[in-house]
């Protein structure tokens, strides 16, 4: 992943130097396990444990000669040792080290992503909590539907992000497994006892059964969840982007004092960070497909997956990490224009509250089809320049004969739309602030 979209913590984790450090940890853990079982001496294990990770330059030099990165690493590690070096990598195959170290990287990457997901959840809960009672128009098909609150909109996204966090955690638990089982996974050259002891030291559990590799369905499932989480973030970013459109103007993405929205147009203030989140979600979906292609390997293994996941796994975790961090900052600094929300809510004399008028007519004995056509006629008449649904309703003899002016006014109020949302807030553990947030204060 290019530096632009790579959190420095994950960039360091996926670096070549980090990989050599983890490979060294795996080899040392295996030697300590073998010493514990009496297969090698404690002195040999101690000497190997004292070895430093080989330098990247030396490993690359040896790889150029040998054509094998893990073999080059083993040679470079043994160069630091005397006779004890013969015990390094004894009975192991490359993937014992590579897959186990990869599990350690994924474990650390997942811990980072989980922290960022928690931060986003908190940002959504904080902003939503401040706006539980901020009325705004709900939209379906991109058109005005009925009133909701901004807190209700954010609560839906919060619930979705929380689910994504749980799903990603489950997928990570499935992929964070180690393997010290030898060339085709049969433990013919390294015992299951060594595997269990070494992996326990590393904080991993062993895969129940392996070939020469840990099965790649685990990694594909994790990439799928990374991509799905990206799509969840894309939905949030898309929603926030739409609410910033000039014609709507209810939100504004944070904008720095020296920031420029356009190289040519000084007035521009674009939702560029949210657009970036949407773009990177496409990258994640592409990497998910690459992971799916890695599942079907030849027999006990081939190496076709290796080149793919050296790109896919680091890039996917880094892209999602960047998306999460950026989106949390946007949500935390979002400018909410409640006056614009109130104005949009009252558009054309509150025409988007037509259903409550319909329901009251039916409750007073009018046939539903007749009531629907009456209200629809008034609504369509109001939905044009200068139209006013409230005024038309209060001037309609057919409607007033059934309801009266006071009940028409009640039907066009907000209370009945907002009263039912508390159940959802309660389920999500969100508490309504006191006093209620008034609409139209320009905050």
CATH code at position 416: 1.10.40.30
Whether residues 404 and 337 share a domain: the answer is: no
Range of the domain at 97: 92-251+268-341
Catalytic pick from 15, 46, 262, 307?
Answer: 262
Last residue of a domain, one of 325, 341, 357: 341
Q: Do 133 and 274 sit in the same domain of this protein?
A: yes
Question: How many domains are contained in the chain?
Answer: 2
Domain-ending residue, one of 326, 341, 356: 341
Distance from C-alpha of 261 to C-alpha of 380, rounded to nearest angstrom = 38
Q: Is 164 exposed, middle or buried (0-12, 13-18, 19+ CB in 10 A)?
A: buried
pLDDT for 15 beyond 80: yes
CB neighbour list of residue 140: distance below 8 Å, 6 or more residues apart:
none
99 and 152, same domain (yes or no) = yes
Q: Is 262 in the active site?
A: yes
Whether residue 43 is contained in a domain is answered as: no
Judge if 160 and 238 occupy the same domain.
Answer: yes
Q: Let me know whether 221 and 322 are in one domain.
A: yes
| Annotated catalytic residue within 141, 263, 267, 299 | 141
Q: Give yes or no: 305 in active site.
A: no
Query: Does one domain contain both 298 and 163?
Result: yes
- Average pLDDT over all residues of the chain: 93
- Please determine, for residue 434, whether its predicted confidence score (pLDDT) is greater than 50: no
Predicted local distance difference test score (pLDDT) of residue 427: 83
- Residues 105-127 pLDDT 10s: 999 999 999 999 999 999 999 99
Rounded Cα distance, 117 and 114, in Å? 5
- Where a domain ends, among 341, 358, 381? 341
Answer for the pair 127, 251: CB distance below 8 angstroms, yes or no: no
- pLDDT for 426 equals 83
Stretch 231-248: mean pLDDT, rounded? Answer: 97
């Amino acid at each position: 992943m290019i530096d632009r979209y790579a959190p420095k913590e994950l960039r360091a984790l996926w670096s070549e130097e980090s990989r050599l450090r983890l490979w060294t940890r795996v080899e040392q853990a295996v030697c300590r396990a073998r010493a514990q079982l009496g297969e090698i001496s404690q002195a040999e294990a101690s000497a190997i444990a004292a070895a430093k990770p080989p330098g990247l330059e030396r490993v690359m030099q040896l790889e150029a000669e040998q054509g094998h990165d893990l073999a080059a690493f083993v040679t470079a590690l043994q160069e630091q040792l005397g006779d004890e070096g013969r015990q390094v990598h004894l009975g192991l195959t490359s993937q014992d080290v590579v897959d186990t170290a990869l599990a350690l990287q994924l474990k650390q990457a997942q811990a980072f992503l989980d922290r960022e997901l928690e931060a986003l959840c908190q940002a959504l809960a904080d902003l939503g909590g401040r706006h539980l009672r901020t009325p705004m128009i709900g939209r379906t098909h991109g058109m005005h539907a009925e009133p909701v609150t901004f807190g209700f909109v954010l609560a839906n996204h919060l619930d979705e992000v929380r689910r994504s966090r749980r799903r990603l955690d489950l997928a990570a638990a499935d992929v964070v497994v180690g393997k010290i089982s030898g060339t085709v996974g049969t433990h013919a050259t390294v015992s299951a006892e060594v595997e269990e002891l070494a992996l326990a030291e590393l904080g991993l559990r062993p895969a129940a059964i392996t070939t020469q590799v840990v099965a790649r369905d685990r990694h594909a499932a994790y990439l799928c969840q990374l991509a799905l989480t990206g799509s969840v973030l894309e939905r949030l970013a898309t929603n926030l982007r739409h609410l910033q459109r000039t014609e709507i103007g209810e939100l504004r993405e944070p904008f720095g004092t020296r920031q420029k929205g356009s190289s040519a147009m000084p007035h521009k203030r674009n939702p560029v960070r949210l657009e970036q989140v949407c773009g990177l979600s496409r990258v994640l979906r592409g990497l998910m497909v690459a992971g799916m292609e890695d599942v079907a390997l030849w027999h006990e293994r081939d190496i076709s997956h290796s080149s793919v996941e050296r790109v896919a796994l680091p890039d996917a975790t880094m892209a999602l990490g960047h998306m999460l961090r950026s989106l949390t900052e946007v949500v935390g600094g979002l400018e909410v224009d409640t006056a614009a929300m109130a104005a949009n809510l009252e558009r054309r004399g509150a025409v988007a509250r037509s259903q409550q008028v319909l329901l009251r007519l039916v409750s007073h004995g009018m046939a539903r089809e007749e009531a629907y056509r009456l209200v629809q006629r008034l609504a369509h008449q109001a939905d044009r320049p200068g139209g006013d649904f409230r005024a038309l309703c209060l001037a309609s003899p057919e409607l007033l004969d059934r309801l009266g002016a006071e009940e028409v006014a009640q039907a066009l109020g907000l209370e009945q739309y907002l009263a039912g949302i508390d159940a959802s807030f309660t389920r999500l553990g969100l508490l309504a602030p006191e006093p209620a947030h008034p609409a139209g204060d320009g905050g």
